[in-house]
Amino acid sequence: MELSAYPLELPPDDRPMVRFMNVTKSYGSLVVLDDLNLDIQRGEMVSVIGPSGSGKTTVLRMLMTLESINGGVIYIDGKPLTHMERKGVLVPADEAHLRRMRASIGMCFQHFNLFPHMTALQNCMEGPVQVLGLSKAEARDRSEELLKMVGMIDKKDQHPSRLSGGQQQRVAIARALAMRPRIMLFDEVTSALDPEVIGEVTEVIRRLVAEHDLTMLMVTHQMGFARDISDRICFFYKGKIEEQAAPEQFFTNPQRERTQQFLRAVK
Ligand code: ADP
Protein backbone atom coordinates (compact mmCIF):
# COMPACT_ATOMS: atom_id res chain seq x y z
CA MET A 1 0.00 0.00 0.00
CA GLU A 2 1.26 3.47 -0.92
CA LEU A 3 1.99 5.82 1.98
CA SER A 4 -0.61 8.23 0.59
CA ALA A 5 -3.28 5.60 1.30
CA TYR A 6 -2.63 5.60 5.06
CA PRO A 7 -4.67 7.95 7.27
CA LEU A 8 -2.81 10.88 8.85
CA GLU A 9 -4.60 10.00 12.07
CA LEU A 10 -6.96 7.22 13.02
CA PRO A 11 -10.61 8.23 13.53
CA PRO A 12 -11.74 8.69 17.17
CA ASP A 13 -14.03 5.66 17.06
CA ASP A 14 -11.27 3.35 15.82
CA ARG A 15 -8.26 4.31 17.85
CA PRO A 16 -6.48 1.50 19.69
CA MET A 17 -3.49 2.45 21.84
CA VAL A 18 -1.20 0.65 19.39
CA ARG A 19 -1.85 -0.28 15.79
CA PHE A 20 0.58 -2.06 13.50
CA MET A 21 -0.83 -1.58 10.03
CA ASN A 22 0.70 -3.75 7.29
CA VAL A 23 4.09 -3.51 8.96
CA THR A 24 6.99 -5.11 7.16
CA LYS A 25 10.52 -5.30 8.45
CA SER A 26 13.41 -6.98 6.73
CA TYR A 27 17.15 -7.24 7.05
CA GLY A 28 18.45 -7.62 3.52
CA SER A 29 16.50 -10.51 2.03
CA LEU A 30 15.38 -11.80 5.44
CA VAL A 31 11.76 -10.80 6.10
CA VAL A 32 11.35 -10.58 9.86
CA LEU A 33 7.87 -9.03 10.08
CA ASP A 34 5.62 -9.91 7.21
CA ASP A 35 2.69 -7.55 6.65
CA LEU A 36 1.87 -7.49 10.34
CA ASN A 37 -1.47 -6.19 11.57
CA LEU A 38 -1.89 -5.93 15.32
CA ASP A 39 -4.08 -3.75 17.54
CA ILE A 40 -3.57 -3.35 21.28
CA GLN A 41 -6.42 -1.67 23.11
CA ARG A 42 -6.14 0.82 25.97
CA GLY A 43 -5.42 -0.98 29.22
CA GLU A 44 -4.83 -4.28 27.49
CA MET A 45 -2.01 -6.65 28.47
CA VAL A 46 -0.74 -8.64 25.51
CA SER A 47 1.93 -11.34 25.66
CA VAL A 48 3.90 -12.20 22.57
CA ILE A 49 5.24 -15.73 22.43
CA GLY A 50 6.74 -17.89 19.71
CA PRO A 51 9.86 -19.72 18.59
CA SER A 52 13.23 -18.04 18.57
CA GLY A 53 13.65 -15.85 15.50
CA SER A 54 9.90 -15.42 14.90
CA GLY A 55 10.10 -11.60 15.20
CA LYS A 56 8.93 -11.04 18.78
CA THR A 57 11.76 -8.75 19.83
CA THR A 58 11.57 -6.90 16.54
CA VAL A 59 7.98 -5.92 17.37
CA LEU A 60 9.22 -4.27 20.57
CA ARG A 61 12.22 -2.69 18.89
CA MET A 62 9.96 -1.12 16.27
CA LEU A 63 7.80 0.40 19.01
CA MET A 64 10.91 1.73 20.70
CA THR A 65 11.80 3.26 17.34
CA LEU A 66 15.14 1.47 17.44
CA GLU A 67 14.50 0.06 13.98
CA SER A 68 13.48 1.66 10.72
CA ILE A 69 10.33 0.38 9.05
CA ASN A 70 10.29 -1.10 5.54
CA GLY A 71 6.56 -0.95 4.93
CA GLY A 72 3.35 0.01 6.68
CA VAL A 73 2.72 2.43 9.54
CA ILE A 74 2.60 2.10 13.33
CA TYR A 75 0.08 4.32 15.14
CA ILE A 76 0.18 5.20 18.84
CA ASP A 77 -3.16 6.38 20.20
CA GLY A 78 -4.19 7.19 16.65
CA LYS A 79 -1.07 9.19 15.73
CA PRO A 80 1.61 7.82 13.44
CA LEU A 81 4.76 6.81 15.31
CA THR A 82 6.96 5.85 12.41
CA HIS A 83 5.74 8.63 10.14
CA MET A 84 4.68 12.24 10.24
CA GLU A 85 2.49 14.47 8.16
CA ARG A 86 3.98 16.60 5.45
CA LYS A 87 1.80 18.43 2.92
CA GLY A 88 -1.14 16.20 3.62
CA VAL A 89 0.59 12.82 3.34
CA LEU A 90 2.70 10.65 5.62
CA VAL A 91 6.45 10.68 5.23
CA PRO A 92 9.03 8.80 7.32
CA ALA A 93 9.41 10.40 10.76
CA ASP A 94 12.42 12.53 11.59
CA GLU A 95 14.40 12.27 14.83
CA ALA A 96 12.45 15.08 16.55
CA HIS A 97 9.12 13.39 15.83
CA LEU A 98 10.43 10.04 17.09
CA ARG A 99 11.74 11.63 20.27
CA ARG A 100 8.35 13.25 20.96
CA MET A 101 6.43 10.06 20.34
CA ARG A 102 8.84 7.91 22.33
CA ALA A 103 7.90 9.80 25.49
CA SER A 104 4.68 7.81 25.75
CA ILE A 105 6.49 4.46 25.68
CA GLY A 106 8.33 2.91 28.61
CA MET A 107 10.53 -0.12 28.32
CA CYS A 108 12.21 -2.75 30.42
CA PHE A 109 14.78 -5.07 28.97
CA GLN A 110 16.24 -8.41 29.85
CA HIS A 111 19.40 -6.58 30.95
CA PHE A 112 18.22 -3.80 33.15
CA ASN A 113 20.81 -1.22 32.07
CA LEU A 114 20.64 0.86 35.23
CA PHE A 115 23.16 3.69 35.46
CA PRO A 116 25.88 2.05 37.58
CA HIS A 117 27.19 5.25 39.16
CA MET A 118 23.74 6.31 40.44
CA THR A 119 21.70 5.03 43.36
CA ALA A 120 18.32 3.36 42.82
CA LEU A 121 16.60 6.66 43.60
CA GLN A 122 18.88 8.69 41.32
CA ASN A 123 18.26 6.19 38.52
CA CYS A 124 14.52 6.82 38.82
CA MET A 125 14.85 10.61 39.09
CA GLU A 126 17.17 11.07 36.14
CA GLY A 127 14.61 10.91 33.31
CA PRO A 128 11.90 12.99 35.00
CA VAL A 129 14.44 15.75 35.78
CA GLN A 130 16.49 15.68 32.58
CA VAL A 131 13.81 14.85 30.02
CA LEU A 132 10.50 15.93 31.55
CA GLY A 133 11.92 18.96 33.34
CA LEU A 134 10.46 18.12 36.76
CA SER A 135 11.99 19.77 39.81
CA LYS A 136 14.19 17.52 41.92
CA ALA A 137 11.61 17.53 44.71
CA GLU A 138 8.82 16.46 42.37
CA ALA A 139 10.99 13.79 40.78
CA ARG A 140 12.01 12.50 44.20
CA ASP A 141 8.40 12.23 45.39
CA ARG A 142 7.37 10.41 42.25
CA SER A 143 10.37 8.08 42.34
CA GLU A 144 10.00 7.22 46.01
CA GLU A 145 6.35 6.37 45.47
CA LEU A 146 7.29 4.02 42.64
CA LEU A 147 10.18 2.46 44.55
CA LYS A 148 7.66 1.80 47.32
CA MET A 149 5.35 0.16 44.83
CA VAL A 150 8.06 -2.24 43.61
CA GLY A 151 9.17 -2.94 47.18
CA MET A 152 12.54 -1.22 46.87
CA ILE A 153 12.15 1.88 49.00
CA ASP A 154 14.51 0.64 51.71
CA LYS A 155 17.23 0.17 49.06
CA LYS A 156 16.80 3.56 47.43
CA ASP A 157 20.30 4.76 48.32
CA GLN A 158 22.07 1.64 47.07
CA HIS A 159 23.98 1.48 43.82
CA PRO A 160 22.96 -1.26 41.34
CA SER A 161 26.09 -3.33 42.02
CA ARG A 162 24.85 -3.84 45.59
CA LEU A 163 21.47 -5.18 44.43
CA SER A 164 20.42 -8.65 43.25
CA GLY A 165 19.27 -9.15 39.66
CA GLY A 166 15.64 -9.24 40.76
CA GLN A 167 16.07 -6.05 42.76
CA GLN A 168 17.77 -4.31 39.84
CA GLN A 169 14.94 -5.34 37.56
CA ARG A 170 12.38 -3.93 40.00
CA VAL A 171 14.27 -0.62 40.07
CA ALA A 172 14.35 -0.67 36.26
CA ILE A 173 10.56 -1.07 36.22
CA ALA A 174 10.16 1.86 38.64
CA ARG A 175 12.54 3.93 36.53
CA ALA A 176 10.49 3.28 33.38
CA LEU A 177 7.24 4.11 35.19
CA ALA A 178 8.69 7.38 36.53
CA MET A 179 8.39 8.74 32.99
CA ARG A 180 4.60 8.13 33.16
CA PRO A 181 4.43 6.16 29.93
CA ARG A 182 1.09 5.20 28.45
CA ILE A 183 2.50 1.97 27.09
CA MET A 184 4.95 -0.35 28.82
CA LEU A 185 7.08 -2.85 26.95
CA PHE A 186 8.71 -5.80 28.68
CA ASP A 187 11.34 -7.78 26.85
CA GLU A 188 12.13 -11.07 28.56
CA VAL A 189 12.47 -9.22 31.85
CA THR A 190 12.93 -12.42 33.82
CA SER A 191 15.16 -14.45 31.54
CA ALA A 192 18.49 -13.12 32.85
CA LEU A 193 17.41 -13.73 36.45
CA ASP A 194 18.08 -16.59 38.82
CA PRO A 195 15.01 -18.77 39.35
CA GLU A 196 14.66 -17.73 42.98
CA VAL A 197 14.21 -14.03 42.13
CA ILE A 198 11.92 -14.41 39.12
CA GLY A 199 8.91 -14.50 41.42
CA GLU A 200 9.52 -11.05 42.86
CA VAL A 201 9.66 -9.44 39.40
CA THR A 202 6.62 -11.27 38.07
CA GLU A 203 4.76 -10.23 41.21
CA VAL A 204 5.56 -6.56 40.54
CA ILE A 205 4.32 -6.85 36.97
CA ARG A 206 1.21 -8.69 38.13
CA ARG A 207 0.47 -5.85 40.54
CA LEU A 208 1.04 -3.28 37.81
CA VAL A 209 -1.46 -5.05 35.60
CA ALA A 210 -4.03 -5.15 38.40
CA GLU A 211 -3.66 -1.59 39.66
CA HIS A 212 -2.77 0.56 36.67
CA ASP A 213 -4.60 1.33 33.53
CA LEU A 214 -1.49 0.87 31.43
CA THR A 215 -1.30 -0.71 28.03
CA MET A 216 1.36 -3.41 28.10
CA LEU A 217 3.13 -5.60 25.62
CA MET A 218 5.40 -8.32 26.90
CA VAL A 219 7.68 -10.83 25.22
CA THR A 220 8.20 -13.84 27.42
CA HIS A 221 9.21 -17.49 27.48
CA GLN A 222 7.33 -18.10 30.70
CA MET A 223 4.05 -19.60 29.59
CA GLY A 224 2.61 -19.85 33.11
CA PHE A 225 3.24 -16.17 33.74
CA ALA A 226 1.84 -15.14 30.34
CA ARG A 227 -1.25 -17.22 31.03
CA ASP A 228 -1.69 -15.70 34.46
CA ILE A 229 -1.59 -12.02 33.65
CA SER A 230 -2.39 -11.49 29.96
CA ASP A 231 -5.65 -10.48 28.38
CA ARG A 232 -4.47 -11.91 25.11
CA ILE A 233 -1.68 -14.15 23.81
CA CYS A 234 -0.21 -13.56 20.35
CA PHE A 235 1.72 -16.48 18.94
CA PHE A 236 4.26 -15.42 16.35
CA TYR A 237 5.58 -17.70 13.68
CA LYS A 238 7.94 -16.49 10.94
CA GLY A 239 7.03 -12.83 11.31
CA LYS A 240 3.29 -13.33 11.31
CA ILE A 241 0.67 -13.84 13.97
CA GLU A 242 -0.16 -17.49 13.59
CA GLU A 243 -2.80 -17.50 16.30
CA GLN A 244 -4.10 -15.14 18.99
CA ALA A 245 -6.64 -15.69 21.72
CA ALA A 246 -7.45 -15.13 25.37
CA PRO A 247 -5.04 -17.20 27.52
CA GLU A 248 -7.58 -19.80 28.61
CA GLN A 249 -8.62 -20.53 25.05
CA PHE A 250 -5.06 -20.30 23.74
CA PHE A 251 -3.50 -22.73 26.17
CA THR A 252 -6.33 -25.23 26.53
CA ASN A 253 -7.63 -25.27 23.01
CA PRO A 254 -5.08 -24.00 20.47
CA GLN A 255 -6.47 -24.16 16.98
CA ARG A 256 -3.41 -24.22 14.78
CA GLU A 257 -1.04 -27.11 14.26
CA ARG A 258 2.03 -24.89 14.75
CA THR A 259 0.69 -23.54 18.02
CA GLN A 260 0.03 -27.04 19.26
CA GLN A 261 3.56 -28.11 18.30
CA PHE A 262 5.08 -25.10 20.03
CA LEU A 263 3.10 -25.63 23.22
CA ARG A 264 4.04 -29.32 23.30
CA ALA A 265 7.71 -28.39 22.92
CA VAL A 266 7.79 -25.78 25.70
CA LYS A 267 5.88 -27.85 28.23
P1 ADP B 1 12.68 -13.38 18.39
O2 ADP B 1 12.63 -12.25 19.36
O3 ADP B 1 11.34 -13.94 18.07
O4 ADP B 1 13.66 -14.44 18.78
P5 ADP B 1 13.84 -11.41 16.63
O6 ADP B 1 12.77 -10.42 16.44
O7 ADP B 1 14.93 -11.09 17.59
O8 ADP B 1 13.20 -12.83 16.99
O9 ADP B 1 14.57 -11.72 15.26
C10 ADP B 1 13.86 -12.13 14.11
C11 ADP B 1 14.86 -12.43 13.03
O12 ADP B 1 15.54 -11.25 12.66
C13 ADP B 1 15.93 -13.44 13.42
O14 ADP B 1 16.12 -14.32 12.33
C15 ADP B 1 17.15 -12.58 13.63
O16 ADP B 1 18.32 -13.29 13.35
C17 ADP B 1 16.94 -11.45 12.66
N18 ADP B 1 17.57 -10.19 13.08
C19 ADP B 1 17.29 -9.48 14.19
N20 ADP B 1 18.03 -8.36 14.26
C21 ADP B 1 18.81 -8.35 13.18
C22 ADP B 1 19.81 -7.46 12.64
N23 ADP B 1 20.14 -6.31 13.28
N24 ADP B 1 20.40 -7.78 11.47
C25 ADP B 1 20.04 -8.90 10.82
N26 ADP B 1 19.13 -9.79 11.24
C27 ADP B 1 18.51 -9.53 12.40
Instruction: Indicate if the pLDDT at residue 137 is higher than 90.
Output: yes
φ, ψ of residue 79 to 5 degrees: the values are -105, 140
Determine which residue's CA is closest to atom 13 belonging to ligand 1: 53
Contact 32, 26 (CB under 8 A): yes
Indicate whether residue 254 lines ligand 1 (CB < 6 A). Answer: no
What is the rounded average pLDDT of the residues 121-148?
96
215 CA to centre of ligand 1 in angstroms: 24
Specify the pLDDT at position 1.
84
Reported as a single tens digit per residue, the pLDDT across 151-178 is 999 999 999 999 999 999 999 999 999 9
Specify the pLDDT at position 52.
94
Rounded CA separation 241/235 (Å): 6
Residue 164, classified by CB atoms within 10 Å of its CB into exposed (0-12), middle (13-18) or buried (19+), is middle
Question: Which atom number of ligand 1 is nearest to the Cα of residue 67?
Answer: 23
Specify the pLDDT at position 260.
96
The one-letter amino acid at 129? V
Determine which residue's CA is closest to atom 24 belonging to ligand 1: 27
Determine which residue's CA is closest to atom 6 belonging to ligand 1: 55
Reported as a single tens digit per residue, the pLDDT across 196-248 is 888 888 888 888 888 888 999 999 999 988 998 999 999 999 999 999 999 99
pTM of the model: 0.92
Indicate whether residue 25 lines ligand 1 (CB < 6 A). Answer: no
More confident residue, 112 or 38: 38
Instruction: Indicate if the pLDDT at residue 101 is higher than 90.
Output: yes
Instruction: Indicate if the pLDDT at residue 85 is higher than 80.
Output: yes
